[in-house]
Chain A
């Protein structure tokens, strides 16, 4: 939308009616998935092997395991671990990142710690967590969160450094309270950085959660994949993986995208 000028006769804004849903992009995605499935089916037919089952076999395993309640149970456990680790990493990482971004002396002192923790391999953190704290849920979730926190710190620190001081000055002149300042001035400016940290965070975290489950838990998708690896049951491995990916896709479409859409609507209307 173009900007209005002083001379324009100002028409009242009536909220636009939601236009009919555009199915084009969804159809494209569906077609893309169908093509992938067909290519997989063809490849499996050309190279028949227990190590490379066709998609229908995988689907059959998915349905069977879902009906037995196995997939929902293990998927639920893994999702809980992902959610807990994600929340911990985002909250702790954001708090530290905002603090370091606004306190340069503390940042100079703690920067080597951040670089160090960024470069510690995930596997080392997991193994050490299990040795130091035992094979328990706290160690598992803590190890996953610890792996992600440095990335969140770095992203949010950059975001805080880029805060526009003119808005800060305006908020001081008009005596915004601390909560109003955070909600209306700071967080909207950090939103793109928070979105970037969350996006990369969720994909990294669920992969690390699987490793944590494989190494030291007795349930969850990672544990099941390890089990079927020992049985050389590739169809079950793929069934669990696909089920998890589908859930993550649903979360992306039903939760992440609508949230992002709502928080950036001012930007779209302004262009």
Chain B
């Protein structure tokens, strides 16, 4: 059976999933993950990429403790009870609470009453704190979801396609914001995306997953510093990525 235990503060995120399957509606079971092993070093920004339906979101649900029915082991970074900041595919803000209330409700006891001015200002939400989520555009709602995830000072930041269904300009603006805030307060990040170019812009390391039942086909380390990843460099990195993983995506 699975174990889900936190270890010391300097530990990395380790995922070793032997098997995860779902019951099929017509009986039998469908294997989604099989021998999926990878580790994310402390303060590393890692991306998981893979074909649609390969189990990326399922992996995140196991990691978040939303699903305990799997064989394997997950070691979370952080001491004691690790804090995980999560940005879901949709913002999932409580519509009946204001932006600020949504963020504050997520704060652990130790951070209650924390001054959030800097975070809200950095994300351009300073003047929208009293707004309800329904009054915001999708881009602003995603910023609020990001604010909630960062406000808890997470040991691990998990992002599930956080910029999907945004126009490219808005998505790019949010990627820069994320990088800016993350570089001020580095933490371990695991982001799921189907956009390799996005992964090349943001990540230190990319894990490539196979089709279902999914396992890690290989990892792609990007040593070029982020500030040096101009469009030409990114295009070169993308080419070498495709040379290494020609058929996976």
Nearest CB in chain A to that of B133: its residue: A270
Residues in A whose Cβ lies below 8 Å from that of B137: 3-6
The segment out of B91-99, B200-208, B237-245 that lies at the interface is: B91-99
Chief secondary structure at chain B's binding surface: loop
Assuming the contacts A3-B135, A174-B106, asked whether A11 and B127 have C-beta atoms less than 8 A apart, the reply is yes
Task: Kindly identify, within residues 116 to 132 of chain B, every residue whose CB is under 8 Å from any CB belonging to chain A.
Answer: 124, 126-128, 130-132
Assuming the contacts A10-B128, A11-B127, A266-B134, asked whether A172 and B66 have C-beta atoms less than 8 A apart, the reply is yes
Residues in B whose Cβ lies below 8 Å from that of A170: 86, 88, 92
What is the minimal beta-carbon distance from B92 to any residue of chain A, in angstroms?
5
Cβ–Cβ contact A269 & B135, under 8 A: yes
Nearest CB in chain B to that of A270: its residue: B134
Report how far A269 CA is from B95 CA in the complex, Å.
11
Cβ–Cβ contact B92 & A6, under 8 A: no
> Interface size bucket, B side?
20 to 34
Contact with B along A62-77 (1 / 0, CB 8 A): 0000000000000000
Report how far A6 CA is from B97 CA in the complex, Å.
20
Report how far A270 CA is from B93 CA in the complex, Å.
13
Cβ–Cβ contact B96 & A266, under 8 A: yes
A173 at the A/B interface (Cβ < 8 Å)?
yes
Report how far A12 CA is from B129 CA in the complex, Å.
9
Residues in B whose Cβ lies below 8 Å from that of A172: 64-66
Cβ–Cβ contact A269 & B132, under 8 A: yes
What is the minimal beta-carbon distance from B74 to any residue of chain A, in angstroms?
14
Report how far A5 CA is from B137 CA in the complex, Å.
5
A199 at the A/B interface (Cβ < 8 Å)?
no
Report how far A31 CA is from B127 CA in the complex, Å.
45
B152: contacting residue among A1, A167, A174, A176, CB under 8 A: A174
B84 at the A/B interface (Cβ < 8 Å)?
yes
B94: contacting residue among A1, A175, A184, A269, CB under 8 A: A184
Cβ–Cβ contact A5 & B139, under 8 A: yes
Residues in A whose Cβ lies below 8 Å from that of B84: 173
Assuming the contacts A3-B137, A6-B170, A180-B105, asked whether A167 and B92 have C-beta atoms less than 8 A apart, the reply is yes
Nearest CB in chain A to that of B66: its residue: A169
Assuming the contacts A173-B84, A267-B134, A270-B135, asked whether A6 and B173 have C-beta atoms less than 8 A apart, the reply is yes
Report how far A175 CA is from B105 CA in the complex, Å.
10
B90 at the A/B interface (Cβ < 8 Å)?
yes
Residues in B whose Cβ lies below 8 Å from that of A169: 64, 66, 88, 92
B108 at the A/B interface (Cβ < 8 Å)?
yes
Residues in B whose Cβ lies below 8 Å from that of A180: 105
Report how far A1 CA is from B152 CA in the complex, Å.
31
Cβ–Cβ contact A13 & B130, under 8 A: yes
Cβ–Cβ contact B92 & A166, under 8 A: yes
Report how far A81 CA is from B133 CA in the complex, Å.
42
Task: Kindly identify, within residues 1 to 38 of chain A, every residue whose CB is under 8 Å from any CB belonging to chain B.
Answer: 1, 3-6, 10-13
A184: contacting residue among B97, B124, B127, B135, CB under 8 A: B97
Report how far A162 CA is from B42 CA in the complex, Å.
40
Cβ–Cβ contact B95 & A6, under 8 A: no
Report how far A1 CA is from B137 CA in the complex, Å.
12
Residues in A whose Cβ lies below 8 Å from that of B134: 3, 266-267, 269-271
A185 at the A/B interface (Cβ < 8 Å)?
yes
Cβ–Cβ contact A13 & B152, under 8 A: no
B136 at the A/B interface (Cβ < 8 Å)?
yes
Contact with A along B136-155 (1 / 0, CB 8 A): 11011000000010001000
A188 at the A/B interface (Cβ < 8 Å)?
yes
Residues in B whose Cβ lies below 8 Å from that of A176: 105
Cβ–Cβ contact A173 & B96, under 8 A: no
Report how far A252 CA is from B39 CA in the complex, Å.
60
Report how far A143 CA is from B96 CA in the complex, Å.
37
Residues in B whose Cβ lies below 8 Å from that of A271: 134
Report how far A266 CA is from B101 CA in the complex, Å.
13
What is the minimal beta-carbon distance from B95 to any residue of chain A, in angstroms?
6
Please report B residues at the A interface, Cβ cutoff 8 Å.
64-66, 81, 84, 86, 88, 90, 92, 94-97, 105-106, 108, 124, 126-128, 130-137, 139-140, 148, 152, 170, 173
What are 13 A-B pairs at a CB distance below 8 A?
A: A4-B140, A6-B137, A6-B139, A6-B140, A6-B170, A10-B124, A10-B128, A12-B127, A170-B86, A172-B66, A173-B84, A270-B132, A270-B133
Please report A residues at the B interface, Cβ cutoff 8 Å.
1, 3-6, 10-13, 166-167, 169-170, 172-176, 180, 184-185, 188, 266-267, 269-271
